[in-house]
Amino acid sequence: MLKYKVLFLLIISFNLFSQKLERPKIVVSIVVDMMRFDDLYKYYDYYGEGGFRELLKSGSVFNYAHYNYEPTTTAPGHASIFTGSIPYFHGIIANDFFDKSSEKVVNCVEDKNYQSVGSGDEIGKCSPKRLLASTIADQIRLFSELRSKAFAISIKNRGAILPGGHIANGAFWYNNKTGDFITSSYYMNDLPLWIKKFNERKLVQDYMKKGWDLFLDKDSYSSSPAYNGEIPPDIFKSSQNSFPYTFNHLTNEEKNNLFQFTPYSNQILVEFAKDLIENENLGQNSFPDFLSVSFSSTDIIGHAWGNFSKESMDVFIRLDRNLAELISYLNRKFGQNNYPLFLTSDHGAIETPSFLKKVNSLTSELKTKQFYDSLKSFAINKFGSEKIILNFSNRQIYLDRDYINDHNLEFEDVEDSFVNYIRDNFDAIQSIMTRSDL
């Protein structure tokens, strides 16, 4: 799904800019994956008093911030938020991207040099080694000469690892095979006892027993225009592909995997965050600690059902209550004036293209395979071989410099040829940037 290129930031802080310079006990960051700025207002009437409304009332809102990079996906979004830099410098240009040195597609956080901690599979073999800049968490720890503690948690591994940076005390994420929270041997060789006890509670299975019904009465929800006349996706492997969703027919393994497609994955992060704060004694030091919480299910649900669906609306209404619970806990734990908190999003999303077509709104689609096949045909006709294209991924075309040099071609001429071909044949593409342009 294409990304909606408007970024927003909510900061709530009661003493950070006061006359008396006081160190906060803890800095809390919240990222809501694939949240659009207008989601703050689209569902405003259904929000309670302690979540999004509290942030809007008590915080500062930065609503004219724009992305200056492409593509806007989870990994470059998180890396850019927490480093204050851009993909050109911090190195995280996509979730998975082509690495020219190895000529292979690599994952942004995968690292076979480390082992999973908390499970015996591949999901924990990760590190922040591809992140080429320091994060807020890194700088807080360096400022305090490592006396501050820094932790990052998420359902997604990249939503935890990238905010945590290089010297976090720990980054923890969800293992969709086991239903547990795990980490990597990059951070530690064994899970803390409190996480083992948290995992032993098997909360995922308890949540999935509840099923998923609408949080509000049915009349409060929109008519799901994203699926107007279309068949919704059968995510939960049932002929019943609309509310209420039940999960009793699923195996435990299927429940673990599909848990991330439910709003309960936000709730479990709040529970995990509170346990982490208590057991790691955050906010009890003379130097500020740092905690990052990245909520992933808004993105996972938005991609599955569309960001104007009942499912997306319901997850935001429930997330509002999750935020209220977390903020209330932080206020009780640290005092309302003793911590800054910011909330932002890593990227947004456009309306479902098929729906836009139905209502005759402006939209267009670029089918990746057809586009790439056309590029290869052009390369054969113009330059004798498709091998002149080294890789095509993330809407980026990598040209093979060795092929260009071996055939006595000028790199800039080859660039221009591809640009002209694309511009003349694909109306869906708005702009084309070359390496030489940059």
Angstrom distance (rounded) from CA 346 to CA 400 = 32
Strands 26-32 and 150-154: unpaired
Q: Crossing angle of helices 411-425/368-383, nearest 10°?
A: 130
Q: Cis omega before residue 128 (within 30°)?
A: no
- For residue 268, what are the contacts with CB-CB under 8 A and spacing of at least 6? 174, 203, 204, 207
pTM across the whole model: 0.92
> What homologous superfamily is domain 7-357 in, according to CATH?
Alkaline Phosphatase, subunit A (3.40.720.10)
Q: Count of CB atoms within 10 A of residue 219's CB?
A: 6
Phi-psi region of 349 (alpha: psi -120 to 50; beta: other; left: phi over 0): beta
| Catalytic status, residue 72 | no
> What string of pLDDT tens digits covers the 438 residues of the chain?
334 344 566 666 544 444 455 789 999 999 999 999 999 999 999 999 999 999 999 988 988 888 888 889 999 999 999 999 999 999 999 999 999 889 999 999 999 999 999 999 999 999 999 999 999 999 999 999 999 999 999 999 999 999 999 999 999 999 999 999 999 999 999 999 999 999 999 999 999 999 999 999 988 887 555 554 456 788 998 877 788 999 999 999 999 999 999 999 999 999 999 999 999 999 998 999 999 999 999 999 999 988 888 999 999 999 999 999 999 999 999 998 889 999 999 999 888 777 788 888 888 888 899 999 999 999 999 999 999 999 999 999 999 999 999 999 999 999 999 999 999 999 889 889 998 887
Angstrom distance (rounded) from CA 102 to CA 270 = 39
Angstrom distance (rounded) from CA 328 to CA 350 = 32
Q: What is the pLDDT of residue 18?
A: 43
- For residue 265, what are the contacts with CB-CB under 8 A and spacing of at least 6? 155, 174, 259, 296, 297, 300
Nearest CA to 69 out of 51, 91, 49 is that of 91
Strands 96-99 and 289-295: unpaired
Residue with tokens 């980026």: 396
Nearest CA to 351 out of 222, 163, 438, 236 is that of 222
Q: What is the pLDDT of residue 366?
A: 86
- Please identify which of the residues 72, 73, 74, 183 carries the catalytic annotation: 74
Largest Cα separation within the chain, whole Å, is 70
Domain ranges in the chain?
7-357, 368-425
